Structure 1
Amino acid sequence: MKVTIHKLFDYLLETTAADPPECFIGFSLARSPRLGDFLEALDPGLSLDWNGKSFFGLPALRQRVIDQAGLQGRCSPDDVLITAGAAEANYLLFRQLLSAGDEVITEAPGWPQVGVMARAIGTTLREVPRRETDRWRLDPAAVAAAVTPRTKMIFLTNPNNPTGTLIPAEDLHAIARIADQHGLWLVVDEVYAGLEWDGPRAPSIAGLTPRSITTGSVSKALGLQGLRTGWIIAHDRGVLRDAMILRENASEIMNTLGEHIAEIALRPDRLAMALATTRSESRATLEKLDRFVGAEQRLSWQRPEAGLIGLARLDRIDSETLARRLLAAPYRTFLLPGSAYGLPNHIRLGVGGGPETRLDEGLARLSALLKGWED
């Protein structure tokens, strides 16, 4: 079956083809560092051919991936495949582990990629709702109730994309037990892990059961989206090998310069400093957004617990209508409508980026539009 476009990407393609907006509300990744930040640590004699050491990815980088996930002693570099971002990591797993007639359980709202791939493969998508009235919590009992004899995979995001809600450790363990009892693959996209606003990082799912698989990247928390460097962490070496063979027929080998820069970025001292900076900047922005939402009569939200994005509810306003009016003159401000996640009465707010987003101006323009809105 032909791959169809999901609403989120369709909206981005359509709106970014027009004149660039002046302000951005809802930036979903940390402020990006510059190449100069890494030059001192890079070898100028580095070959730009593939890493020459392993088709699974630079060994030193794969060790950093294990370390940043807190999986020392439970996983090894041999349990890691480097990919072109978390999106490719998820794609490779969907293509290898799901077939026509299977079922995959996922959350709603959640990352739309799984729905696109399920339709393309001929897999049935079974969505378990995260309820706003329950602070967007994912109920393990509802996950268990969605399992059928045809279920092959559970796919989740933690922290959740787009609500910024964390799966509590006890619920994560409960879902891992459900997957284990039924022999299911449990894949968790952890691209926002490490940006928890209160409390420790959630356990990385790859450390919980033999069939639990983590995907991640340096894109969101470190602002290194342009490197296109992500990973799969899986105990099953056959899964990694199959994914590597499929990657050979798509992106083939990895971006060598990206691998080396990612390895530098994930070195413990650099990683700790980068995450601390992102947390500090983003927490200040989160407080600003919290005050903004509280002051706007037509907005309310469940404040995000982690990550860089959250959802705000609109009072009697269609999100896509609002987003398109905000993008047009005189406002020239971009935000993502909740319709991209199947929630037409929500908008996505974010705390990422830096001064370049001109967030304060964007919020002022959004406020002006909301105040003049006619029902």
Structure 2
Amino acid sequence: MKVKIHTLFEYLLETTDAAPEAIVGFSLAQSPTLGDFIDDLDPNQSLDWNNRDFRGLPELRDHVLRQAGLGGVCTAKDVLITAGAAEANYLAIMQLLQPGDQIVIETPGWPQAEVLAKAIGAEVVKITRREEDGWQLPLGQVRDAVTNKTRMIFITNPNNPTGDLLSTNALAELVTIASAKGAWLLVDEVYAGLEWDSQRAPSVAGMYERGITTGSVSKALGLQGLRTGWMICPDAELIRDAVILRENSSEIMNIMGEVIAEIALRPGRYASALADARDAGQRNLAQMNAWVREQDGLSWVAPRAGLIGLGRLPERIDSDEFARFLLAEPYRTFLLPGSAYDQPNHIRLGVGGGTAVNLQEGLDRLEKALSDWPGR
């Protein structure tokens, strides 16, 4: 099995040393500092593993269930703490998919599932979200795509990168589609909690015996550097298989990630941090919406949830060429080209980072680069 590089990661690798002066497309909430947790940390904390459970600290797993709305529905035994949602997705996909299996994924969407499925030798079937439909997931196409060969359906909700949000009824329909063929339904929820025009959708682990919910503290809480996430699934065999695979990769959870994540997810603290992230995100989203309306030829479907969306570039501007143009002098501004999500006429716009990201500076530079683009 050889895992081939994806366009998204390839661009990040190529531009690591660019040292941009501004960023447009920040994808997570403003990050707290270690000092924000010092008073709650025990200086005598052992840096060995947690010595209590291979699946992660029990109290942390209880918090994970609570924030996902699964308290009383699932138990702590249904939760595995992982190195971010990415590892949770990896463990599920690698243990469930075999060569020749079929996986149904969305585009635009988080590319990890496609990369891993191709490495395994599985058949990838893409369901296309269309901008003219507000990036909604076409459930009819999902239903038509799922066959007896389908082993898994993989989606993100809220959608990464468009910010579309599936309703409770839509998720129930996906469960019906998956269960009719005995397929697993994995829903990556890294942006859950940051909904702008409706309530948080239910977690699929509480709706379906083969439902897998993954998430992390990275996006809504800005704790990306902890590399702490989770998998929730009521199927005990899958959780055990995931533990076995992790034992042969990252082995056991990093204790500081567990401990700080447990503090961050304590009910009062989590509610306060999430409220701050929502307030900052809504302010930046309003600023972004106003800016987009003023741009000639640039448009976007504003995200209904999460901190990123896709902006459509004016005609005849290629996203890869424009992203590199914007990163060079005199603009020195970073953003991800839409080609990372199979959308070469788009760019990723983000409203994360709170006040620290200085969104207006990045937008001013982006506006000038659009104006300076040759031929405009």
Secondary structure of 2:283's partner? helix
Deviations 1:301-356 (A, max 9, x none): 11100001000101211111111000001100001100111100000000111344
Deviation at 1:97, TM superposition (A): 0.3
In the TM superposition, 1:247-326 aligns within 5 A as 247-316=246-315, 317-326=317-326
Deviation at 1:359, TM superposition (A): 2.0
Equivalent AA in structure 1 for residue 150 of structure 2: T
Equivalent AA in structure 2 for residue 52 of structure 1: N
Q: Distance in 1 between matches of 2:232 and 2:372?
A: 50
Q: Distance in 1 between matches of 2:17 and 2:75?
A: 44
Kept after mapping to 2: 8 A contact 1:27/1:351: yes
Q: Distance in 2 between matches of 1:324 and 1:228?
A: 29
Aligned to 1:195: 194
Deviation at 1:373, TM superposition (A): 2.1
Deviations 1:170-229 (A, max 9, x none): 111101111111100000000000000122111111111100010000001000011110
Secondary structure of 1:264's partner? helix
Kept after mapping to 2: 8 A contact 1:298/1:370: no
Deviation at 1:246, TM superposition (A): 0.5
Q: Percent identity?
A: 61
1:215 aligned to 2:218? no
Equivalent AA in structure 2 for residue 61 of structure 1: L
The two structures have a TM-score, normalised by structure 1, of: 0.98
Which 10-residue stretch deviates more, 315-324 or 351-360? 351-360
Q: Distance in 2 between matches of 1:17 and 1:124?
A: 36
Structure 2: segments with no counterpart, 5+ residues: none
Secondary structure of 1:100's partner? coil
Aligned to 1:245: 244
Q: Distance in 2 between matches of 1:49 and 1:59?
A: 16
Number of residues paired by the alignment?
Answer: 374
The two structures have a TM-score, normalised by structure 2, of: 0.98
Deviation at 1:374, TM superposition (A): 3.0
Aligned to 1:155: 154
Q: Distance in 2 between matches of 1:326 and 1:48?
A: 43
Deviations 1:239-269 (A, max 9, x none): 0111011001111011101101101100111
Q: Distance in 2 between matches of 1:77 and 1:313?
A: 43
Structure 1: segments with no counterpart, 5+ residues: none
Deviation at 1:169, TM superposition (A): 1.4
Equivalent AA in structure 2 for residue 365 of structure 1: R
Q: Distance in 2 between matches of 1:56 and 1:168?
A: 30
1:168 aligned to 2:167? yes
Secondary structure of 1:52's partner? coil
Deviation at 1:291, TM superposition (A): 0.8
Kept after mapping to 2: 8 A contact 1:22/1:358: no
Kept after mapping to 1: 8 A contact 2:351/2:359: no
Aligned to 1:136: 135
Deviation at 1:4, TM superposition (A): 0.3
Deviation at 1:42, TM superposition (A): 1.4
Aligned to 2:329: 329
Equivalent AA in structure 2 for residue 371 of structure 1: S
Deviation at 1:46, TM superposition (A): 1.1
Secondary structure of 1:75's partner? coil
Secondary structure of 1:104's partner? strand
Aligned to 2:350: 350
Q: Distance in 1 between matches of 2:41 and 2:67?
A: 21
Equivalent AA in structure 1 for residue 43 of structure 2: P
Which 10-residue stretch deviates more, 314-323 or 355-364? 355-364
Q: Distance in 1 between matches of 2:152 and 2:205?
A: 14
Deviation at 1:39, TM superposition (A): 1.2
Deviations 1:266-302 (A, max 9, x none): 0111111001000101110001110111100121011
Q: Distance in 2 between matches of 1:366 and 1:337?
A: 13
Kept after mapping to 1: 8 A contact 2:110/2:156: yes
Aligned to 1:367: 367
Which 10-residue stretch deviates more, 39-48 or 128-137? 39-48
Equivalent AA in structure 2 for residue 168 of structure 1: S
Q: Distance in 2 between matches of 1:38 and 1:193?
A: 23
Equivalent AA in structure 2 for residue 313 of structure 1: R
1:115 aligned to 2:117? no
